[in-house]
Structure 1
Amino acid sequence: MTQEISDFALSDAQIKEFHENGFIGPFDVYEPEEMASTLQALRPKLINTKTAIYGQRKAVSGSTNLANYDRHLDVPFLADHITRPEIVGPVTSLLGSDTLCWRTEFFPKYPGDEGTDWHQADNFSNVAGSKHPQIVWPEDAEFGGTITVWTAFTDATIDMGCLQFIPGSHKTMNYDESKVMEYDAEAINNREKNGIRRGFFGYDYRQLQKDPNWTPDESKAISIELKKGQCIVFWSTLMHASHPHNGTTDQMRLGFAARYLPTSVRVYPYSDALVEFGGEASLDKFGNVLVSGKDDFGHNRFVDQTVTGHPFITR
């Protein structure tokens, strides 16, 4: 029997829980064995970035690897993943039926890697050299940010660097995304904060704090362990971080984050290039994916799903 988006809609109690805490889950998307075999088959395609839409990015010292962003636009499995009813059901319960996916990212953490700093993201302008917001909600919107669905492609335990959340923290932004973070390659895997090895890809997210003397209340933090094939759904404005990978296993922790918005939100309205942490790539081949409903606004560029092996075409 084909499963529908409505089969995975959140209950009223779950929606209330999400709005109170800023996250909901875990949810099962794949059986662990299915996820393991899929990842094994997927690895060669992920390593080959020739078809990635940002494959010819501008090389900048200290930049992130943009070739691994938005791989749902060239890898069929990932194109299917972002539209799975197990994911779109909860997302549309929170955002409404007219919903798009605008970005995906891989988050690997290798044995010995530091944890990720506590952070929030509202309009994602802090990572862009242009300082332009990457997403812009309508003026009458009550909130900003994006819904992130973080799927564990491998087990994500505390020892391997699973996510951490501070419940309820999505209601107040503690960071000013118009501020600048300074890159320091020497800081990667070489810095402790409150006795824990944490960083932010060579940056110090604390430089964005509105109050330089403020510190997150980590006594309220909870750790979100996931089995391979499970996902967690959260607001990007929720205070989140990750544990270090302590190296007790030689297995990489791999998460895949898909980010969703209602179609009323403008995506990259001021940009013709993706600029992230020093990396830069043209948005010529970029398009949002309509995962549910319709687009009545016409201010975003979309792609259409087509045949396997060439997942999307731009319109």
Structure 2
Amino acid sequence: MTNTIQQSFTPSPEEVAQFHERGYLGPFKVYEEEEMKRLWRRERLRLMDRTGAVYDEGDAQAGNTNIANYDRHLDSTFLADHICKPEIVDRVTAVLGPNVLCWRSEFFPKYPGDEGTDWHQADTFAFASGKPQILWPESEKEFGGTITVWTAFTEASEDTACLQFIPGTHRTMFYDETKNMHYQPDKINAQDKDGVNRGFYGYDYRQLQKDPNWRPPEERAVSMIMRPGEAILFWSTMMHASKPHTSPEKGMRLGFAGRYVPTSVAIYPDTDDVDEYGGKVSLKDYGAVLVSGVDTYTHNRKVTATTRGHVFPVR
């Protein structure tokens, strides 16, 4: 019998140290560029079928909300395998440890003419509804947020709304997520100091600033230019944003984000729904996915297969 040796994508100690200093790692390749283009041509059609989606389409799209993009890995075989890919999981476990859950995934489309995404940080993800969506245990209270792995399904360039990071800002929260943001989908947002139009999916993230007079140090910003199939790993507590999409000839820019936490983190504690972006969805069919190791805790609801029966490949 031949033993199959798994390829390792664990970053070097130097890369991990650089991640802790900057707050991000990458970009790195998950798919070959032509492979990504081929896969997305196929999957964008399959994803139009929402019969297996865990959130009701009518509720998810109420108010033109972004919740419709949440957690399609729970019904899509391709996305289920994507969040578990060794190229991703090995890098995540190098930061979070061996026992890891994927608790959410999201699509982030930007169409030609769309404004940039405002500078923001996320710790408990309570900024929209006021309810924490993830809580680290008291014994690990120096940590917070989630590891996000953002994969470019299409080109992400300076003119197609690439991500921007402010390195080293992941250790200090400049926003108070317990403050209330008002959902105003038709609000026209102000320009930043460089004249870039930015917003936050119907919210004004500046309403959460601890110091109303504080401004993000945009002079330190770096752009994450990525080819289709490349990914970037970063702390959600690091200041991040995106540029506007100013290139009509290049079509939609699409990123797909998987969000990861250790199994010790409580996911959606004391809540049965997600209420944000002008919509509300029930969590009755939701479950986190173990992507690596074991889960000895009992505080999170979990699933081991998609709604269509595809088993998640645990690393």
> Deviation of residue 274 (structure 1)?
1.6
Rate the CA distance shift 1:59–1:155 in 2: closer, same or farther, 3 A. closer
Aligned-residue identity in percent: 56
- Cα distance in structure 1, aligned partners of 2:244 and 2:71: 25
CA deviations over 1:200-221 (Å, ceiling 9, x no partner): 1121100000000000010000
* Paired position in structure 1 for 2:43: 42
Q: Is the alpha carbon distance of 1:92 and 1:183 closer, same or farther for their aligned partners in structure 2, counting shifts above 3 Å?
A: same
Post-superposition offset of 1:183: 2.2
Q: 1:180 to 1:2 in 2, by over 3 A?
A: farther
Q: Output the TM-score relative to the length of structure 2.
A: 0.93
Question: Residues 235-282 of structure 1, C-alpha deviation per residue, up to 9 Å, x if partnerless?
Answer: 000000000000252411000000000000000011111222221111
Change (3 A) 1:312 1:276: farther
CA RMSD, Structure 1 to Structure 2 (Å): 1.9
Q: 1:192 to 1:61 in 2, by over 3 A?
A: farther
Q: Distance in 2 between matches of 1:165 and 1:48?
A: 34
Partner of 1:196: 196
Matched, 1:227 2:227: yes
Structure 2 counterpart SS, 1:170: helix
Q: Match of 2:300?
A: 300
Mapped partners of 1:145, 1:222: distance in 2 = 21
1:209 and 1:296 map into 2 onto residues whose CA distance is 37
Q: Separation in 2 of the partners of 1:53 and 1:15? A: 35
1:228 to partner: Cα distance: 0.2
- Contact 2:77–2:306 (CA<8 Å) still a contact in 1? no
Alignment: residue pair count: 308
- SS of 1:275 mapped into structure 2: strand
1:49 is displaced (CA, Å) by 2.1
Q: Deviations over 1:147-191 (max 9, x none)?
A: 000000001001000000000000100000011112223325x64
Pair 1:26-2:27 in alignment: yes
Give the Cα–Cα distance (whole angstroms) in 2 for the partners of residues 27 and 291 of structure 1.
19
User: Match for 1:151: what amino acid?
Assistant: T
**Secondary structure of the equivalent of 1:16?**
helix
Structure 1: 5+ residue stretches without partners:
none
Shift in CA distance, 61/290, structure 1 to aligned 2, threshold 3 Å: closer
Q: After superposing the two structures, state which structure 1 stretch, 278-287 or 204-213, moved more.
A: 278-287
Q: Distance in 1 between matches of 2:69 and 2:20?
A: 31
- For the 8 Å contact 1:118–1:240, the answer to whether it is kept is yes
Of 178-187 and 254-263, deviating more is 178-187
Partner of 2:270: 270
Superposed, which structure 2 residues align to 1:201-212 within 5 Å? 201-212=201-212
CA contact (8 A) 1:74 1:312 kept: no
Query: Aligned partners of 1:283, 1:108: CA distance in 2, in Å?
Result: 24
Inter-CA distance 249–3: structure 2 relative to 1 (3 Å threshold): farther
Tell me the residue number matched to 1:145: 145
2:252 aligned partner: 252
Q: Distance in 1 between matches of 2:46 and 2:182?
A: 33
The secondary structure found in structure 2 opposite 1:14 is: helix
Q: Which moved more, 1:43-52 or 1:79-88?
A: 43-52
Q: Deviations over 1:25-68 (max 9, x none)?
A: 01100000000010000111222223211124536864514232
Mapped pair 1:237 → 2:237 = yes
Rate the CA distance shift 1:95–1:279 in 2: closer, same or farther, 3 A.
same
Map of 1:90 onto structure 2: 91
The amino acid that maps onto 1:8 is F
Equivalent pair of 2:163/2:225 in contact (CA under 8 Å):
yes
Q: Secondary structure at the match of 1:104?
A: strand
Task: Structure 2 unaligned segments of length 5 or more: list them.
Answer: none
| Matched position secondary structure for 1:274 | strand
- Once structures 1 and 2 are overlaid, which stretch shifts more, 192-201 or 19-28? 192-201
Q: C-alpha separation between the residues in 2 aligned to 1:241 and 1:204?
A: 13
* SS state at 1:207 partner: helix
| Local SS of the residue matching 2:180 | coil
